[in-house]
Structure 1
Amino acid sequence: MSSGGGGLVDGYRLVVFDLDGVIYLIDRPIPGAVEAVARLHAGGHLVAYATNNASRRSAEVADLLTGMGVPARADEVLTSAAAAAEVLRERLPAGAAVLVVGAEALRAEISAVGLRPVGRAEEAPVAVVQGYGPQVGWADLAEASVAIRAGAMWVATNTDRTLPSGRGPLPGNGSLVAALRTALGRGPDLVVGKPEPALFTTAARRAGGADCLVVGDRLDTDIEGACRAGLPSLLVLTGVSGVTDLLAAPPQARPTYVSFDLAGLFDPDAVVRVPAGSPAGEGWSAQVRQDAIELAGAGRPLDALAVLCAVTWAPGPAAGEGLPVRPVGTAAADALRALGLPS
């Protein structure tokens, strides 16, 4: 998108946000997030939050958001912990024992659906549910390994390899799932959270099937989940995935739009649709050479990004995936710096 016309959000009734890396980073709101959500509410838009973080219940997340200045209700929050509990409730008899590897919030969700959370394989669990918890350790994984080898169904709330922090990406639940995968020689029987589409389709269903835009910071969870759900998506560059990741994204994890932050919801000059219609447009052109992609021209860095996506995502031998980008001229070098690419 470029100058002129209304904001991106004008085309959607419901906006579904990821949380970590989009609305907040650990326990602090990302600059502009509070104002963006307030503006959506003021404009009559519906808002929902879909998070793979299984360490908090929906009401706790809503309280956290409200404490940051983002008014939120528990029914606007969809967590992978609650979704996993619902899946197990549908598949297991009432009162069935479920070994919980994760935070207290996950245990509470299991209890809330009439199942019995346990902590040891000796209690004969019929299922293991695994979610992120900062205190999860070797002993927890060992109990899960024993239970799964004995025949328990293995459900993971999500498989995010990392989670964002003020010190950079830290190991997420996917890293802990990978440890069990290595020990068992196989993966979970079921993964509930993003990139599975359930959280997004549930949000849209609760909103009466309203036109929905997904906003996330991770290509491998938020954006791929939106793609699987058949929903348009906006990648914001405030969290895990950066421009280098975007250029290398496989078809199933490519967003519809990209912006540096949530200003892209409202300001046409702060968002771009990707890829560009061709490797030339909006003042930029890109060509694949043997050792690099050459970017030339002038204009918005986001338009340069759209052109670069057109080149690197192109099918066939002319595609530039994996090649470095080389600027031609000062304007191109400035654009690459703005995008966080070597110039």
Structure 2
Amino acid sequence: MSSFKSASPILAKAYDTALLDLDGVVYIGEDAVPGVIGALNQAHDEFGMTLTCVTNNASRSPQRVAQHLQELGLEVTAEDVVTSAQAGAAELAKLIPPGSNVFVLGSKDLAREVELVGLIPSHDDSQIYDAMIQGYWPDMPFRMLEFAASVLQTGVPWVATNMDMTIPTPTGVAPGNGTMVTALGETVNRKPTLVAGKPETPLMQQSIDRTKAKRPIVIGDRLDTDIHGANNVGIDSLLVLSGVTTIEEILQAPIELRPTYLAWDASAVLTAQNGTEIKDQITTCGGWKVVAGDLLGQGDALDAVTAVTVAHWNGEISLDSALLALAGIGLEVR
């Protein structure tokens, strides 16, 4: 894994499997990101690239996720979908005996995944529980949160499907599962026993194992989950700017959050990727270069972002100068 340094041939030729995040990558809300569905289908049909959908959203079953994707035109089935609910349930089954009672602070689809691994899920607040699993649940009654706190105070294992603090919506960002996990943790003064979703390894590893991928690439819009998750399991990644990550956040990314490639959106699977060249303290990408703290050149603005980012990471241009340079060529940096 080398962040923005190495050029690549067409990604769909270089990698056999795309591990696709969904929110902000394939769709936002109910609608597809323009140009992405056709490109992904072409990557599969023309180059044989396996499309595997890897989502931290635990509120919907693989069948429901696949149905939504099919309605958008993506050629996938439920077998091509791996969710943090599946990964969380699988990890929970390693912590407690078969037939154990599990309090599910989450949707019916999350409860179903718990049942499929041989455990007994319930929302009943009159039972005694052996464990708790928590996932994104937009319709959660507040009384369930209160009962969950009482369950956690007994010391039972607690699995969180993910720690996403926000989720993208058509009107902006909204609170994610991580906000509720954090609230509960602060209330009862403990942390989850295990987190299944990205950036932790269970969900990503389960996705790789299921597809038997030899050369997988993660395609995501979040540094803290998708890119960090790829780096945690040692595979390459493509960060797309169609979701929640800003150019300023890329510039400030620590090494563990840096992607291999950068693109405007996931249709980039059909294109070759420019690398950066550093020589005599000049950082070049495509038609752009950073010389003595100045951005010079012309061409695809994405190459300008790449050149400036690498130059900033190497201490050749300050953050303020980098932001001003990129804003100066018409880019929204925040």
Q: Do both proteins adopt the same fold according to a TM-score greater than 0.5, normalized to the shorter chain?
A: yes
Secondary structure of 2:172's aligned partner: coil
284, 290, 294: which one pairs with 2:289? 284
1:171 is aligned to 175
> How far apart, CA to CA, are the structure 2 residues paired with 1:207 and 1:148?
35
State yes or no: 1:20 paired with 2:43.
no
CA distance in 2, matches of 1:326, 1:27: 35
Partner of residue 32, structure 2: 29
The secondary structure found in structure 1 opposite 2:103 is strand
Q: Secondary structure at the match of 1:225?
A: helix
Within 2, Cα distance between the matches of 1:255 and 1:21? 16
Q: Deviation per CA, 1:31-89: give whole Å up to 9, x if none.
A: 11210121022121111010000011112211111121112121211000011111112
Structure 2 residue aligned with 1:291: none
Once the two structures are overlaid, the 10-residue window that deviates more, 24-33 or 233-242, is 24-33
Q: Distance in 1 between matches of 2:174 and 2:291?
A: 35
Query: How far did 1:287 drift?
Result: 4.2
CA contact (8 A) 2:37 2:74 kept: yes
Identity of aligned residues (%): 34
TM-score, with structure 1 as normaliser = 0.88
Cα distance in 1 for partners of 2:96, 2:291 equals: 55
Query: Mapping of 1:187-226 within 5 angstroms?
Result: 187-226=191-230
CA contact (8 A) 1:102 1:132 kept: yes
Q: How far is 1:219 from its partner? A: 0.6
RMSD of aligned Cα (Å): 2.3
The aligned length equals 325
In 2: Cα distance, 1:276 partner to 1:255 partner = 17
Give matches, 1:1-343, under 5 Å.
Answer: 6-43=9-46, 44-120=48-124, 122-268=126-272, 271-273=273-275, 277=278, 279-282=282-285, 283-285=288-290, 287=292, 294-314=294-314, 320-321=318-319, 325-327=323-325, 335=329, 337-338=330-331, 340-341=332-333
Long gaps (5+) in structure 1: 289-293
CA distance in 2, matches of 1:333, 1:20: 26
Q: Distance in 2 between matches of 1:144 and 1:322?
A: 45
Greater relative contact order, per chain length (Cα 8 Å cut-off, separation 6+): 2
After superposition, the Cα gap between the structure-2 partners of 1:279 and 1:77, relative to the gap in structure 1 and judged at 3 Å, is farther
Cα contact 1:126–1:151 (8 A) shared by 2: no
CA distance in 2 between counterparts of 1:295 and 1:5 reads 24
1:76-111: CA deviation from partner (whole Å, max 9, x where unpaired): 110000111111122222221111111111111112
Q: What displacement does 1:265 show?
A: 1.4
Q: C-alpha separation between the residues in 2 aligned to 1:103 and 1:319?
A: 47
CA pair 193-322 structure 1, distance change in 2 beyond 3 A: farther
On the 8 A contact 1:313/1:320 being kept in 2, the answer is no
TM-score by structure 2 length? Answer: 0.90
Q: Distance in 1 between matches of 2:208 and 2:163?
A: 23
Residue aligned with 1:70, SS: coil
125-134 or 106-115: which moved more? Answer: 106-115
